Amino acid sequence: MTLPRRRRAPLGSRRPGSRGTTGSGRPGDPAGPRGQEGNLLGRVERIGQLVVSLSTLAATLLAVVSIQQVGDEQRINKEAHITDRYTAAGAQLGSTSVDVRLAGIYALQRIMQDSPRDQPTIINLMCAYVRNHAALPRKQAPASEHEPDPFATVHNDEVQLISEAPKADVAAALDVIAKRDPRYDGGSEVDLSHTDLSFARLEHARLAGASLDGARLIGADFRGSDLSGAEINYADTRLASFEEADMRRVQVAGTDLKGASLAATDLRGAIDLQRGVVLNAMPNILTKLPRRLAVDPRVIKRQREIDCRGGCPPQRAH
């Protein structure tokens, strides 16, 4: 059996569902050459933006690295400069001229202000300077280890003032120590033990936790100072002024406080503070004492006596 031949569609006719093309583009390409050109331009534009972004990032990283390098160089130069200044100031402390030594002390104080991390080293150096230039002769005991007579009468003229005020360089070193910012002390400790600081001006000094063991502090001025937790054992503090000082938890074993002003002094928690020592001192009713002494009738009487030295109104008989 012979099958009928399939007729071809005439040229120019369209099959149902077929898509036409314009120009010479490939069948099925809606844009033809123009679409390809648009896609290519988009890719080039995106690549250009990426190159610009990478260039900007590289420039930023380069700037950051440059800034860090400059900062490192400046820090190294600053540290080298401080080291040179420290070396020069340290050399001045060994001069035979008091003026040169003073210049060295003030230079070290300025270095400490410019570089707080060097404060522990400088404070240790200042303390060593004071101990060396204001050393108390070992053969002289600064205070009696025996408790004073609790009924003794305090007279300033009974105290032999055999010391004099610190020299200018020692006073300057003490000033550096007293006015420092304790926040930058690190692990350093203020050690002024076994020194002669009689008549030293240490008002509002920052001496919390300091060691003043065995020191001679006759007539020294500690008004308003922070001496909390300080060690002042077997020290001679006759006629010293501790008015309004913070002396909480201070250690005063064997210390002579005869004639010392304790007006408004905070001595709460003081260790080894004996009744006889307080009676020989000059506490007033504003003095804060450990509980066992604050309720002691003799101590209370002594506080009232000090307050009435300028004259008290007569008490009415009951």
Coil, strand, or helix at residue 157? Answer: helix
Q: Are 211 and 230 in contact (CB under 8 A)?
A: yes
Q: Taking CA 197 as the corner, what is the angle to CA 288 and CA 91, rounded to the nearest 5 degrees?
A: 130
Does 241 fall in a domain?
yes
- 159 pLDDT exceeds 70? no
Find the largest Cα–Cα distance for the chain: 158
Give the Cα separation of 201 and 241 in Å (integer): 10
Percentage of residues in the chain having pLDDT higher than 70: 74
DSSP 191: B
Triad 76, 81, 87: Cα angle to 5°:
125
Residue 3 has pLDDT above 80, yes or no: no
What's the mean pLDDT in 106-130? Answer: 95
Sign of CA dihedral 292, 298, 304, 307: negative
* Residue type for position 37: E
Query: For position 202, which CATH number holds?
Result: 2.160.20.80
Residue 125 is assigned to a structural domain of this protein: no
Q: Is residue 262 part of a domain?
A: yes
Split at pLDDT 50, 70, 90, the class of 311 is: low
119: in domain: no
- With respect to residue 72, please indicate whether it lies within any of the assigned structural domains: no
Number of domains in the chain: 1
pTM: 0.70
Mean pLDDT of the residues in the chain: 83
Q: 67 pLDDT band (50/70/90 cuts)?
A: confident
Query: Is residue 209 in some structural domain?
Result: yes
Q: Answer yes or no: is 226 within a domain.
A: yes
User: What digits encode the pLDDT tens for the residues 188-234?
Assistant: 899 999 999 999 999 999 999 999 999 999 999 999 999 999 999 99
Q: What is the CA radius of gyration of the chain?
A: 43
pLDDT bracket for residue 156 (50, 70, 90): very low
Instruction: Please provide residue 141's backbone torsions phi and psi, each rounded to the nearest 5 degrees.
Output: -75, 125
Domain range for 218: 138-307
Residue 254 within any structural domain of the chain: yes
Could you read off the pLDDT of 76-111 as tens digits, one per residue?
666 777 788 899 998 999 999 999 999 999 999 999
CA atoms within 13 A on the CB side of 160: 3
- Average pLDDT in the 260-272 region? 98
Sequence-separated (6 or more) residues with CB below 8 Å from residue 230? 207, 208, 209, 210, 211, 212, 247, 250, 251
Average pLDDT value for residue range 306-312: 76
